[in-house]
Copies of this chain bind each other. A is one copy, B any other.
Amino acid sequence: MGLLKIAHVPPAAVETSATVLEAVQVMAEEGVGAVAVVENGQLRGIFTERDVMLRVVLRERRPRETRVGDVMTSPAHTTPRDTPAEDALSFMLEHHIRHLPIVDGEGKLLATLSIRNLLEHMVEDLQRELHSLDQYLLNDGPGG
């Protein structure tokens, strides 16, 4: 299954010229911990709760007067849409990131995958497998 079925589509995104306050408003409305930062649909970086904390609050920058383009994480790690979910999770754990923009071959933003999306997907997978196992044991199992 492609990552686009697991990820947040359409992705929360702001332009590089948006202020930190505007970006945080988008994150609050969408209930997400990161926004992709774009210019003409091309991914330029990612701006996360961690950036809010470390690059804005810790540095005592003003959210109304600071441009996201100046405090985003750039370049962002990205992944193509056909990456296996397990590989995406390993990558995120290894790089200590919780959000991974999915881009096409031209760097156009398609979606943003969160570690939460992945965990929920995996829990659903496990539940489906357990259910199948239950059915097997009930109906077709050894001695059944």
Contact = CB atoms under 8 A, between A and B. Distances in A.
Interface stretch (A1-9, A54-62, A103-111): A54-62
Interface string A114-128: 001001100100000
Contacts of A123: 93
A143 B64 CA distance: 70
A64 B58 contact: no
Contact of A53 (B24, B60, B64, B119): B24
A25 interface: yes
A30 interface: no
- What is the predominant secondary structure among interface residues of chain A facing chain B? helix
Interface residues of A, number: 24
Q: Which 10 A-B pairs have the closest CB atoms?
A: A49-B49, A52-B53, A57-B63, A24-B57, A24-B58, A49-B53, A28-B58, A24-B53, A52-B57, A28-B54
Interface of A: 20-21, 24-25, 27-28, 33, 49-50, 52-54, 56-58, 60, 63-64, 93, 96, 116, 119-120, 123
26 contacts: A20-B57, A21-B58, A21-B60, A24-B53, A24-B54, A24-B57, A25-B58, A27-B53, A28-B53, A28-B58, A33-B49, A33-B53, A49-B49, A49-B50, A49-B52, A49-B53, A52-B52, A52-B57, A56-B57, A57-B57, A57-B63, A60-B64, A93-B116, A93-B119, A93-B123, A96-B116
